[in-house]
């Protein structure tokens, strides 16, 4: 499978495990709920484990685990569920998470720019999405008014020069 | 007024390019209707009864004559020759073609305008006092703060997909003319005990299905923290606002369900973590403020004698001056309303020709600027008293000088069934019929200030719940009926109207309103206003009168 990561299309074999699927080794993710209950076992499992978050999940309860979790996936059950934007930004800004944050699910091209600004650096859209067409969305805008997780130069800073 | 620099212009241009591509993909079948909906909504485009409806942002209601001419051009070229000004100081076009919307947005961008975030579940156009900068009761001009909020909220990456729409209003005067208590966030410029100016922050007001008056969650916020505090509120709302039911998704419901104390605590905790990183840049504040200085007033304007002379010789002109103009803080100047509430015209509607005329008048008489009021009229804020007579004549020729501002025929009215696909009933014909019965101006003036607000459905775009007389269209087995309320207000003494009784059929609304007004005349004591009378007597005497005859 392919995804976009750090501005490039790359091959990716991360597996998103259902709650009853045993760890497979390699790179895999589990739901937030499963991580909470099976944390110890999953740590012992072979491979690298990441976690999938959705709106409502309490970030503080995995704060200490974050350095060892990758990727952290923010889920889009529907494209209108904008909680992922806040979760991603909190991960970067409040919890200092430096690893891969991946948007997964029903987001669309026109959210990609915003997602990148709040700290998402990997994009796994619904199957069948043409990644080549998604890629330019990272550059939809060249000016930004407000601070976010991407630390770009803001309009008022440019003006101040 | 604020002028774009290269950065503001680049952003708007890039947005046009983005929407052009989105429209192309939709028309080519690459985007489904479900995928296109949030995108077109965030560019102000609805699908309406007849055609798409395009809502154009007029930031805090401020327009230049050049911009108004462009709005006229758009009405003429892409629509049927008119536009409709809304209660949120924006303008709507009811007949554009989807394929042409990217062109319209490009035309708008050429005069520093856009339709960004005029609909959709995002932060909408920030509204303000139409008398900002010229009124005598102002602590500080709210417009620089509105502009700072406009820039911050424009394409905010975190808050573009909120549980529901989000509206902010800012007021800097003693009298609240911006309906701040019925917005998701209301900001009042206030002074604290140390004499510093800052913001009182209200949250959770709103109209619609569950009308609620906003509550103060912070009595004083230092100005430099404005954006971090807004950001904290929005983040709490984005994370915890309900997404399971769109009728319970506004921040007012979150506030109600959490309780104001706990909600405030959540916001304050969030704020304490982000406030230091998001302080407003002092130089940027000064830069924005520099656009809102007073115009080049004539220091001798008050010396003019012609004004008095024209006043005494002309009762129609003097009525217009009394009713349709208000004091301007600069001596010898007044602020003059352009009434969009002439007999027989849908409230808030304006033709392309009228827009061109008013743009010219703004150039000649008011420093090339004008404002849109939330009561769906326009305002020329800085007119020399010596020019008022000629201004009146020109407005009168264009059917824009109906002397009824604040009176019973200055009705706020949503588009209703005639245009809106959500409507239960046609609000415009009801407004027109009520106005027809009030043709006798002596009677109209005798009634004093009365706010009649009409919405075609529960969504309340016509602000019916805060009308002194509120009129709401309801569907009764496929027929149009109307529910009346009395005693609402969106000013400092904000309150929600009380239900008068069972709804009445469309054909009877105007006569019921007539009966309410007559009852007021009987009940009032001395100069008592309609609202004060209702508040003193309660609605019972009005009920008796209305339902005895029906
Ligand atoms: S109040 Fe209802 S009918 Fe009127 S414009 Fe709003 S949604 Fe449409």
> For residue A15, what pLDDT is reported?
96
Give the chain B residue whose CA is nearest to the CA of A151: B277
> For residue B49, what pLDDT is reported?
61
- pLDDT surpasses 80 at B402: yes
> For residue A107, what pLDDT is reported?
93
Query: Are residue B78 and residue B132 in the same domain, yes or no?
Result: no
* SS3 state of residue B292: helix
Q: In whole angstroms, what is the distance from residue B74 CA to residue B103 CA?
A: 10
B496 part of a folded domain? yes
CATH number of the structural domain spanning residue B54: 3.90.480.20
Question: Which of B249, B265, B291 is the C-terminal boundary of a domain?
Answer: B291
Q: Does any CB of chain A come closer than 8 Å to the CB of residue B158?
A: yes
B121 part of a folded domain? no
Q: Tell me whether strands A8-11 and A2-5 are parallel, antiparallel or unpaired.
A: antiparallel
Interface of A with B (CB under 8 A): 55, 79-83, 85-87, 89, 93-94, 108, 110-111, 113-115, 117-118, 140-148, 155-160
Across B197-213, average pLDDT? 94
pLDDT band of B550, cuts 50, 70, 90: low
Query: Are residue B354 and residue B477 in the same domain, yes or no?
Result: no
User: What's the pTM value of the predicted model, to 2 decimals?
Assistant: 0.95
Can you give A16-78 as a three-state secondary structure string?
ECCCCCCCCCCEEEEEHHHHHHHHHHHHHCCCEEEEEECCCCCHHHHCCCHHHCCCEEEEECC
Cβ–Cβ of B281/A156 closer than 8 Å? Answer: yes
B480 part of a folded domain? yes
Query: Are residue B392 and residue B496 in the same domain, yes or no?
Result: no
Q: In whole angstroms, what is the distance from residue B233 CA to residue B213 CA?
A: 17
Taking a C-beta distance cutoff of 8 angstroms, is the pair B425, B417 a contact? yes
Residues paired with residue B123 on neighbouring β-strands, in sequence order: B166
B333 part of a folded domain? yes
What is the DSSP secondary structure assignment for residue B385, as one 8-state letter?
A: G
Domain membership of residue B70 as a residue range: 6-109
Query: Are residue B139 and residue B63 in the same domain, yes or no?
Result: no
- pLDDT surpasses 60 at B24: yes
Whole-number mean pLDDT of chain B? 94
Residue B56: CA count within 13 A, CB half-sphere: 32
- pLDDT surpasses 80 at A109: yes
* SS3 state of residue B228: helix
Residues paired with residue A106 on neighbouring β-strands, in sequence order: none
The residue with tokens 């607000």 is B453
Q: What DSSP string describes B15-28?
A: HHHHHHHHHHHHHT
pLDDT band of A160, cuts 50, 70, 90: confident
Q: In whole angstroms, what is the distance from residue B92 CA to residue B85 CA?
A: 6
Query: Are residue B273 and residue B138 in the same domain, yes or no?
Result: yes
pLDDT, one tens digit per residue, over B291-347 is: 999 999 999 999 999 999 999 989 999 999 999 999 999 999 999 999 999 999 999
- How far away, in angstroms, is B456 Cα from ligand 1 center? 5
- How far away, in angstroms, is B414 Cα from ligand 1 center? 6
Q: In whole angstroms, what is the distance from residue B105 CA to residue B17 CA?
A: 9
Taking a C-beta distance cutoff of 8 angstroms, is the pair A35, A65 a contact? yes
Residues paired with residue A110 on neighbouring β-strands, in sequence order: none
Cβ–Cβ of B14/A140 closer than 8 Å? Answer: yes
Give the chain A residue whose CA is nearest to the CA of B246: A80
pLDDT, one tens digit per residue, over B441-493 is: 999 999 999 999 999 999 999 999 999 999 999 999 889 999 999 999 999 99
Whole-number mean pLDDT of chain A? 95
Query: Are residue B274 and residue B313 in the same domain, yes or no?
Result: no
> For residue B48, what pLDDT is reported?
67
Query: Are residue B417 and residue B532 in the same domain, yes or no?
Result: yes
- How far away, in angstroms, is B417 Cα from ligand 1 center? 8
- How far away, in angstroms, is B43 Cα from ligand 1 center? 19
Across B105-109, average pLDDT? 96
> For residue B32, what pLDDT is reported?
86
- pLDDT surpasses 80 at B200: yes
Residues from chain A that touch B288, judged by Cβ atoms under 8 A, are: none
CATH number of the structural domain spanning residue B216: 3.30.413.10
Query: Are residue B81 and residue B62 in the same domain, yes or no?
Result: yes
Q: In whole angstroms, what is the distance from residue A50 CA to residue A69 CA?
A: 5
Residue contacts between A and B (CB atoms, under 8 Å): 96
Across B13-19, average pLDDT? 93
B368 part of a folded domain? yes
What end-to-end distance do the CA atoms of chain B give, in Å?
52
Q: Give ipTM to 2 decimals.
A: 0.97
Option in B11, B35, B160 nearest A143 (CB): B11
Query: Are residue B93 and residue B193 in the same domain, yes or no?
Result: no
Query: Are residue B341 and residue B419 in the same domain, yes or no?
Result: no
pLDDT band of B549, cuts 50, 70, 90: low
Least confident of B34-38, B91-95, B106-110, B174-178: B34-38
Whole-number percent of chain B with pLDDT over 70: 99
B529 part of a folded domain? yes
pLDDT, one tens digit per residue, over B45-76 is: 887 666 789 999 999 999 999 999 999 999 99
Cβ–Cβ of A117/B227 closer than 8 Å? Answer: no
- pLDDT surpasses 60 at B127: yes
Q: Give the tokens for residue A53.
A: 């978050």
Q: Which of B69, B132, B57, B108 is nearest to B362 (CA)?
A: B69
Residues from chain B that touch A60, judged by Cβ atoms under 8 A, are: none
How far, in Å, are A83, B21, B55, B547 from residue B543 at the CA level?
47, 56, 39, 6
Question: Which of B109, B138, B154 is the C-terminal boundary of a domain?
Answer: B109
> For residue B91, what pLDDT is reported?
96
Option in A110, A118, A160 nearest B39 (CB): A110
* Residues framing ligand 1 (Cβ under 6 A): B 414-416, 420, 422-423, 455-457, 459-462
Whole-number percent of chain B with pLDDT over 90: 87
What end-to-end distance do the CA atoms of chain A give, in Å?
45
Query: Are residue B276 and residue B305 in the same domain, yes or no?
Result: no
- pLDDT surpasses 90 at B410: yes
Residue to substitute from A118, A147, A151, interface B, most B β-carbons within 10 A: A147
What is the DSSP secondary structure assignment for residue B81, as one 8-state letter?
A: S
Q: In whole angstroms, what is the distance from residue A26 CA to residue A24 CA?
A: 7
Report the Cα B300 to chain-centroid distance in Å. Answer: 34
What are the structural domains, with CATH classification, of chain A?
Answer: 2-158 (3.40.50)
Q: Which of B412, B408, B413, B498 is nearest to B450 (CA)?
A: B408
Q: Give the tokens for residue B67.
A: 């911009």
B118 part of a folded domain? no
Helix (H) or strand (E) holding B83: strand B82-85
> For residue B441, what pLDDT is reported?
92
Question: Which of B291, B317, B343 is the C-terminal boundary of a domain?
Answer: B291
Residue to substitute from B158, B234, B251, interface A, most A β-carbons within 10 A: B158
> For residue B548, what pLDDT is reported?
80
Count of the separate structural domains present in chain B: 4
Query: Are residue B448 and residue B481 in the same domain, yes or no?
Result: yes
- pLDDT surpasses 90 at B219: yes
B53 part of a folded domain? yes
**Residues with Cβ < 8 Å from B431, sequence gap 6 or more?**
B346, B347, B411, B413, B452, B454
Atom of ligand 1 nearest to the CA of B456: 3
Least confident of A9-18, B30-39, B231-240: B30-39
Q: Which of B162, B249, B270, B254 is nearest to B215 (CA)?
A: B254
Cβ–Cβ of A141/B155 closer than 8 Å? Answer: yes
Option in A94, A118, A145 nearest B152 (CB): A145
Helix (H) or strand (E) holding B282: helix B282-289
Option in B11, B14, B160 nearest A82 (CB): B160
> For residue B277, what pLDDT is reported?
87
Q: Give the tokens for residue B477.
A: 């087995």
- pLDDT surpasses 90 at A53: yes
């Amino acid at each position: 499978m392919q995804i976009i990561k750090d501005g490039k299309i790359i091959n990716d074999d991360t597996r998103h495990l259902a709650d009853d699927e045993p760890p497979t080794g390699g790179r895999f993710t589990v739901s937030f709920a499963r991580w909470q209950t099976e944390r110890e076992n999953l740590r012992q499992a072979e491979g690298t484990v990441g976690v999938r978050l959705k709106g409502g999940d309490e970030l503080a309860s995995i704060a200490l685990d974050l350095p060892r979790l990758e990727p952290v996936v923010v889920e889009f059950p529907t494209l209108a569920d904008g909680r992922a934007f806040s979760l991603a930004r909190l991960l970067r800004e409040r919890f200092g998470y430096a690893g891969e944050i991946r948007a997964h699910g029903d987001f669309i091209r026109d959210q990609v720019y915003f997602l990148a600004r709040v700290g998402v650096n990997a994009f796994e859209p619904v199957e069948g999405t043409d990644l080549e067409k998604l890629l330019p969305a990272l550059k939809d805008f060249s000016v930004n008014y407000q601070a976010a997780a991407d630390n770009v130069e803001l309009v008022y800073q440019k003006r101040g020069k | 007024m604020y002028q774009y620099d290269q950065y503001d212009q680049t952003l708007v241009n890039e947005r046009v390019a983005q929407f052009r591509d989105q429209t192309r993909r939709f028309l080519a079948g690459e985007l489904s209707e479900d995928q296109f909906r949030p995108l077109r909504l965030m560019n102000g485009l609805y699908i309406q009864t007849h055609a798409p409806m395009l809502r154009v942002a007029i930031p805090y209601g401020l327009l230049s004559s050049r911009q108004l001419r462009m709005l006229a051009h758009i009405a003429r070229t892409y629509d049927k020759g008119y536009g409709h000004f809304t209660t949120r100081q924006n303008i709507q076009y009811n007949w554009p073609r989807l394929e042409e919307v990217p062109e319209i947005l490009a035309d708008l961008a050429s005069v520093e305008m856009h339709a960004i975030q005029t609909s959709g579940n995002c932060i909408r156009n920030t509204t303000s006092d139409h008398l900002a900068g010229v009124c005598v009761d102002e602590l500080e001009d709210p417009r620089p703060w509105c502009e700072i909020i406009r820039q911050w909220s424009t394409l905010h990456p975190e808050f573009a997909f909120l549980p529901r729409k989000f509206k902010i209003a800012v007021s800097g005067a003693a009298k609240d003319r911006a309906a701040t208590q019925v917005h998701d966030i209301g900001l009042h410029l206030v002074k604290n005990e140390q004499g510093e100016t800052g913001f009182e922050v209200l949250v959770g007001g709103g109209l619609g299905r569950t009308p609620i008056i906003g509550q103060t969650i912070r009595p004083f916020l230092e100005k430099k923290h404005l954006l971090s505090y807004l950001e904290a509120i929005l983040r709490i709302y984005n994370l915890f606002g309900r997404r399971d039911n769109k009728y319970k998704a506004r921040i007012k419901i979150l506030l109600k369900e959490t309780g104001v104390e706990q909600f405030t605590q959540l916001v304050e905790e969030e704020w304490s973590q982000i406030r230091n990183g998001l302080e407003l840049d002092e130089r940027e504040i000064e830069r924005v403020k520099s656009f809102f200085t007073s115009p080049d007033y004539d220091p001798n304007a008050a010396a003019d004698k012609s004004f008095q002379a024209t006043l005494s010789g002309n009762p129609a002109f003097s009525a217009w001056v009394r009713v349709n103009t208000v004091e301007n803080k600069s001596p010898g100047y007044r602020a003059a309303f352009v009434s969009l509430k002439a007999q027989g015209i849908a409230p808030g509607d304006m033709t392309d020709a009228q827009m061109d005329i008013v743009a010219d008048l703004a150039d000649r008489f008011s420093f090339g600027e004008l404002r849109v009021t939330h009561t769906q009229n326009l305002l020329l804020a800085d007119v020399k008293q010596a020019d008022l007579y000629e201004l009146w004549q020109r407005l009168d020729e264009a059917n824009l000088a109906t002397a009824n501002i604040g009176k019973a025929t200055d009705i706020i009215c949503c588009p209703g069934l005639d245009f809106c696909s959500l409507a239960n009933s046609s609000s415009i014909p009801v407004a027109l019929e009520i106005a027809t019965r009030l043709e006798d101006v002596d009677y109209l003036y005798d009634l004093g200030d009365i706010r009649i607000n009409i919405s075609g459905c529960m969504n309340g775009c016509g602000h019916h719940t805060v009308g002194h007389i509120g009129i709401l269209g309801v569907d009764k087995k496929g027929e149009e009926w109307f529910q009346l309320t009395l005693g609402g207000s969106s000013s400092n003494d904000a309150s929600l109207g009380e239900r008068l009784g069972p709804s009445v059929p469309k054909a009877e609304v105007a006569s019921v309103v007539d009966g309410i007004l007559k009852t007021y005349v009987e009940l009032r004591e001395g100069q008592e206003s309609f609202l004060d009378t209702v508040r003193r007597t309660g609605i019972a005497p009005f009920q008796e009168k209305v339902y005895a005859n029906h």
